[in-house]
Amino acid sequence: MRYPKFLQPGGTIGLVAPSFGCSVDPYKSCLDAAEKRFEGMGYKLIEGPNCRKNEGIGISSTPENCGRELTEFYCSEDNDMLITCGGGELMCETLDYVDFEAVKAAKPKWYMGYSDNTNFTFLLNTICDTAAIYGPSIGAFGMEKLEPALLDAIDIFTGKKSEVSGYDRFEVESLKDEEHPFVGYNLTEKKELKLFMGEAEMNRLPEFSGIITGGCLDCLANLVGTKFDEVAAFNERYKDEGVIWFVEACDLNVMSIRRALWNLDRAGWFKYAKGFIVGRPAFAWKQEMMGLDQYNAVTGILGKYNVPIIMDADVGHLAPAMPIISGAHAHVVADDNIKLIYE
């Protein structure tokens, strides 16, 4: 796995919009505030041509423009790392226009984003054998006071931290809107992990290690069987270490979560699974349908592997979320909290 260099003091952050751009508030104001914050920390920023556009369908511009911007900024020597402008809906359509051979040949650099950006963070791991960061988009850094999860993300891409832990509370409903673009997280809920060994619920899990990869389940299930699905080769490269899978769902209901996991499972993606980290589902939080909830939607498919399954983890759309170095060798400790130690 190619591991990028950490961002150095005075380095340059490139901003790209292969999914949504920051064309309207609160996203535009948050982008401005985030740029001001990073400039105040001594960094330089360069915006890609699509960062403030809203010309595409589910993405900032045309798939061709988005794929070109992503390729050129990743391969450019004018920036030291990339942070995405946001998530979105149809970043998958840009993939035909991303030059993955050029990305593989380029000097590796950190790319950070989540949600729809799974279409690049995950493929950097599986196609390009390059680590990425599943973490916040640039606008999150525009909030009035940075939350611990955002400070963790900065410490990860600058190399100041090699481990992160989960957080005490989380939000179900964000208070951010056009009138309140800089508000912090609405931490109304106490975080309580659900731990399983196979299908059996546990109070504590054995520690486990492996190469960690994954992302938003909405996107992962869409990649199965396409020409971008190189998971079989990835699995064989890392079969000795084994693979830790992290997944989280955005728009999927509990039935869709189960179907998506069934799809990945039957495609052989979990062949060398050492454990699973499952984030709080955004749409399906506390949902029940015909005897199915967010827990047995997962354990009913993954339980057969008889490996640790950590659920309701601080990953994904219900903030805060731990920054995950996707592609790293990770050691996982889980009891009443979760700790990821990157090695």
Would you write out the chain's pLDDT as a tens digit for each of its 343 residues?
Answer: 999 999 999 999 999 999 999 999 999 999 999 999 999 999 999 999 999 999 999 999 999 999 999 999 999 999 999 999 999 999 999 999 999 999 999 999 999 999 999 999 999 999 999 999 999 999 999 999 999 999 999 999 999 999 999 999 999 999 999 889 999 999 999 999 999 999 999 999 999 999 999 999 999 999 999 999 999 999 999 999 999 999 999 999 999 999 999 999 999 999 999 999 999 999 999 999 999 999 999 999 999 999 999 999 999 999 999 999 999 999 999 999 999 999 8
Residues 118 and 90 in one domain: yes
Domain C-terminal end among 163, 191, 222: 163
Phi, psi of 310 (to 5 degrees): -105, 120
* pLDDT value of residue 179: 87
Q: What angle do CA 53, 56, 62 make, to 5 degrees?
A: 100
Residues 114 and 203 in one domain: no
Domain C-terminal end among 107, 133, 163: 163
d(CA 62, CA 72): 15
Indicate whether 43 belongs to any domain.
Answer: yes
Residues 194 and 113 in one domain: no
Domain C-terminal end among 94, 129, 163: 163
Is the distance from CB of 70 to CB of 94 less than 8 angstroms?
Answer: yes
**Would you give the DSSP letter of residue 187?**
-
Residues 261 and 180 in one domain: yes
Q: What is the pLDDT of residues 147-178, one digit of tens each?
A: 999 999 999 999 999 999 999 999 999 999 98
Q: In which residue are the tokens 């390729």 written?
A: 71
Residues 66 and 131 in one domain: yes
d(CA 26, CA 273): 39
d(CA 38, CA 47): 13
d(CA 302, CA 235): 17
d(CA 306, CA 277): 14
Indicate whether 235 belongs to any domain.
Answer: yes
* pLDDT value of residue 75: 98
Residues 184 and 327 in one domain: yes
- Number of independent structural domains in the chain: 2
Q: What is the pLDDT of residues 175-194, one digit of tens each?
A: 999 889 999 999 999 999 99
Domain harbouring 122, CATH code: 3.40.50.10740
Is the distance from CB of 135 to CB of 112 less than 8 angstroms?
Answer: yes
d(CA 140, CA 163): 21
Closest by CA position to 209, among listed 247, 168, 238, 249:
238
Residues 239 and 311 in one domain: yes
d(CA 299, CA 280): 14
Residue 315: both structure tokens together: 């990953």
| Alpha-helical segments (H) within 8-143 | 27-40, 63-75, 100-105, 118-126
Q: What is the pLDDT of residues 16-41, one digit of tens each?
A: 999 999 999 999 999 999 999 999 99
Helix/strand/coil for 207: coil
d(CA 316, CA 219): 13
Residues 277 and 209 in one domain: yes
* pLDDT value of residue 131: 98
Residues 195 and 146 in one domain: no
Residues 193 and 151 in one domain: no
Domain harbouring 221, CATH code: 3.50.30.60
d(CA 91, CA 70): 11
Closest by CA position to 257, among listed 237, 287, 231:
287
Indicate whether 3 belongs to any domain.
Answer: no
Is the distance from CB of 299 to CB of 197 less than 8 angstroms?
Answer: no
Residues 77 and 193 in one domain: no
Indicate whether 5 belongs to any domain.
Answer: no
Q: In which residue are the tokens 């509370």 written?
A: 169
Give the burial class of 250: count Cβ atoms within 10 A of its Cβ; 0-12 exposed, 13-18 middle, 19 or more buried: buried
Torsion, CA 94, CA 95, CA 98, CA 104, rounded to 10: 150
Indicate whether 278 belongs to any domain.
Answer: yes
Indicate whether 198 belongs to any domain.
Answer: yes
Range of the domain at 97: 12-163
Residues 80 and 118 in one domain: yes
Residues 6+ apart with CB under 8 A from 69: 16, 17, 18, 48, 49, 50, 61
* pLDDT value of residue 18: 97
